[in-house]
Structure 1
Amino acid sequence: MRSPHVGQGSNSANVRRYNERLLLQALRRAGEASKADLARLANLTSTAVGSIITALSANGLIEVSGRRLDGQRGQPASLLRLAPRGAFAIGVRLDRTNIETVLVDFAGRMLARRSHDMLLPQPCVAQDIVQGDIREMLGMLSIGERSRVAGIGVAQPYNLGSWLRELGLPTDVFGVWNDVDFAGELGRAMALPVFSENDGNAAAIAEIFYGCGRQRADFLYLFLGPAIGGGIAIGGDCVRGLTGNAGDFAVMPVPPGRLPSAYRPSGQWDILLSRASLIALRRHLQYSGETIDSRADLEACIARDHPAVQEWLDDCIDALAPALRAALCVLDVPAVVLDADVDAGLIDTLMERLRVAVAATAPEARGTPALVRGTFGPDAGALGAATLPMFFNFSPRAGILMGAGAQNQEVSHVAL
């Protein structure tokens, strides 16, 4: 066995668990592979891989998808893949203007989704909504499949009651959220493990686990939602920082914006979410006479190239490009992944303009990283939440998630 990075205090069971997760990761990235492929990809011996495949097959986590028919001599090699219904997870995304709940399978396919486009209500009301959606989704699974639910992931902005003036939101609604353990209450009500994470980190973890992270180990992740979120992927893992707020682009200091719809900061500096966010776009469209009650309304204005959208884009890029260049000077990653809660052409436009603006700020002897479109679009937040239980239970790099109520939580019927 040639497995790297196993701590000195690891016993044989821990080594076995690590190698099982390593093989699952290799299979997830490859899509399908033979035993020989997996031995090479996971850097394990054929004997070790054979033993692990037997165990994973018995647990229903992998299955034979076919045989390789490429003209090779001898018996065609069996091809393996993740068994889609080998495990399930539920994701809950809480945002200041939306609640989403999704059910996903082991392959990352979304089996069900419930979305409530609304100003985030009081915590007790939000609990009733989420618990009702979860019970409905659990009812879609057989009794046997319910035993394979790895847990519930909750992704939400930290400090929900902060920066409300910049976002133009009522303080009386959101202030109570700073003192609520929503994930803990949800876990007690549903009797399932709950994994809680910053929404930017959760969406970045979805990219690491199911998206472009299968080909790239290092990147910055940006998600344009009601505010702007982000995450940092280094070595195929998510960097959380001391408080889980690493990659918190939203509060990076920027000069005040020039749009007439913008709030005036009390000091010399503003923060990025005031300018690079969908709430800033919504505010400017409303200032320009548009009625914006939903993401669909935003997309309709984007699709018809409303002049206010172009004005906001100018202001957004003017703030975002130097903030991103500053982050790149510190982290020196080869790629930036960009995604958004809406599209209608907005993501491509943002990428094109940001690529030009970031290149224009490149210091001497420094290049510009690749700008990559995100994989999941409006589903990134909810899918990121659902990825948390999968990542914790099935990734060889899941130690970063042992926090926010997840310490020492394992799901015996699915955890490896």
Structure 2
Amino acid sequence: MALRGTNQEFGRPYNRRIVLEFVRLHSLTTRSEIAARVGLTVQTVSTIVRELEEQNYLVSVREEPKGRGLPPSMLKINPEGGFAIGVNVTPISVEAGLVDLSGEVIGSLSRDIAGASPEDAFEIIGAMAPELIAQRPKGRMLGIGLALPGPFGVESMSFVGPTTMAGWENTAIRERLAEATGLPAFLETDMAAAALGEHLYGLGKRFSEYYFLYLGVGLGGALVREGQVQRGASGNAGEIGHIPVVPDGEACPCGNRGCLERYFSLDALRRSGLGDADWLEAVAPTFRNAIATIENLFDPETIVLGGLAPANLLERIVELTAVLPNSVAARRDRKTPRVRIAEGGEHSVLRGAAALAVSSVLSPRFGQMFTGGRERDVLSGGEVAA
């Protein structure tokens, strides 16, 4: 999605977001570069920048002179200009972090709890939020975002089984989150939040189109195109973990048999009772076939592997991709490996969840960052069917 401003007077709030988004993506940058790239006049950009500096969203820096004259002042996002809380509720834990405008996690908290009920989870989140806010007591708090295992709104699959939050059906999740914290609240699937976090703060800036493969308690993924997480007609695209890969295989809580995440997920590793090395040897053929399937379906520039798995396990998984089945990705002119490890780190989901709240204030893509009816409803204030 190209960032383009409008010179119509009614477009002023939109132009503010355009300028902020451009600076976030291209920091450090100049007023003239912004104007040239987004189609606004330098005067318009200068006026907007002055307002944003007064509001502490942007700061100007200037390099030391290297010759005659002063170098132009450069703009960047002010990390202390605002903060949001990101929360990730999984079948094994509740984690939360305070994130600044640059994506830095100022502080994080974690509580191990298996299969937390909504009551337990929101009580924990309600206690974590003030503790995190206290780390920036005078900071501008933009909101809180919550990431949960999906899919949402599918009776036979949502909140069913050990890889989802069983017992959360019919819960007004976003309303409960706002009530527990007193902050504007936003909701997304964990894999989409992780993909957004990787786009904003990891490898995502280097690619125009890539697939984020999320290895969590379950398994999911999302195609990211031009900064937008592609989420399907109902917002549930990417549930690759529920693609049947083994005929008459293990029964899955979704009602099918042989689903991919029954063999390749952290839950599958736990249930196998094997050490990492033995498990990887056993699942290698299934994993490699899944990579080829993703490539043939989406033709991404690369597949970015991330999620809740520890870094050493991700590294060993990527080693399996030294030998992969043939696919449309097996081109001689490749400039990047077919599979890469995410750079967002262990807090990618928290950063992505927090980014939902940040984007509600700063991004012109808000409401368009995700494509799909469910996201449009969520981001415009509607309730998720749960």
- One-letter amino acid of the structure 2 residue matched with residue 55 of structure 1: E
Specify whether residues 396 and 159 from structure 1 end up closer, same or farther in structure 2 by C-alpha distance, changes over 3 A only. closer
- One-letter amino acid of the structure 1 residue matched with residue 364 of structure 2: P
Please state how far the C-alpha of 1:67 moved relative to its aligned partner. 1.3
- One-letter amino acid of the structure 2 residue matched with residue 379 of structure 1: H
Q: Determine the structure 1 residue equivalent to 2:294.
A: 327
- Which residue of 353, 376, 397 maps to 2:320? 353
Answering whether residue 74 of structure 2 is matched by residue 79 of structure 1, we say yes
Please state how far the C-alpha of 1:85 moved relative to its aligned partner. 1.0
Deviations 1:281-312 (A, max 9, x none): 11223xx5xxxxxxxxxxxxxxxxxxx32232
Q: Determine the structure 1 residue equivalent to 2:233.
A: 242
CA contact (8 A) 2:304 2:339 kept: yes
- Which residue of 220, 226, 235 maps to 2:211? 220
- Which residue of 163, 186, 190 maps to 1:199? 190
Specify whether residues 246 and 164 from structure 1 end up closer, same or farther in structure 2 by C-alpha distance, changes over 3 A only. closer
- Which residue of 296, 316, 321 maps to 2:283? 316
Answering whether residue 259 of structure 2 is matched by residue 276 of structure 1, we say no
Stretch of structure 1 that moved more, 104-113 or 395-404 = 395-404
Please state how far the C-alpha of 1:246 moved relative to its aligned partner. 1.2
SS in 2 for 1:219: strand
Deviations 1:66-96 (A, max 9, x none): 3134635422211221111111101111111
Deviations 1:129-151 (A, max 9, x none): 110001222233334x2xx2111
Stretch of structure 1 that moved more, 190-199 or 17-26 = 17-26
- Which residue of 86, 89, 93 maps to 2:84? 89
Specify whether residues 282 and 165 from structure 1 end up closer, same or farther in structure 2 by C-alpha distance, changes over 3 A only. farther
Please state how far the C-alpha of 1:243 moved relative to its aligned partner. 1.8
- Which residue of 131, 135, 145 maps to 1:153? 145
Specify whether residues 17 and 321 from structure 1 end up closer, same or farther in structure 2 by C-alpha distance, changes over 3 A only. farther
**5 Å matches for 1:10-409?**
12-13=9-10, 15-64=11-60, 66-69=61-64, 71=66, 73-143=68-138, 145=139, 148-158=140-150, 175-255=166-246, 263=250, 269-285=257-273, 288=274, 308-357=275-324, 360-362=325-327, 370-400=338-368, 403=376, 405-407=378-380
TM-score (norm 1): 0.79
Please state how far the C-alpha of 1:105 moved relative to its aligned partner. 0.7
Please state how far the C-alpha of 1:363 moved relative to its aligned partner. 5.4
Larger helix proportion, structure 1 or 2? Answer: 1
Please state how far the C-alpha of 1:336 moved relative to its aligned partner. 1.3
Q: Structure 2 unaligned runs (5+)?
A: none
TM-score (norm 2): 0.85
SS in 2 for 1:141: coil
Output the aligned Cα RMSD: 3.1
How many residues are paired up? 370
1-structure distance, mates of 2:190, 2:202: 16
- One-letter amino acid of the structure 2 residue matched with residue 273 of structure 1: E
SS in 1 for 2:196: helix
1-structure distance, mates of 2:294, 2:160: 22
1-structure distance, mates of 2:159, 2:246: 17
- One-letter amino acid of the structure 2 residue matched with residue 87 of structure 1: G
Specify whether residues 324 and 5 from structure 1 end up closer, same or farther in structure 2 by C-alpha distance, changes over 3 A only. farther
Q: Structure 1 unaligned runs (5+)?
A: 289-307, 410-416
Deviations 1:41-79 (A, max 9, x none): 445432222122112111110012x31346354222112
2-structure distance, mates of 1:199, 1:114: 17
Aligned residues with identical type, % of pairs = 28
Please state how far the C-alpha of 1:265 moved relative to its aligned partner. 6.0
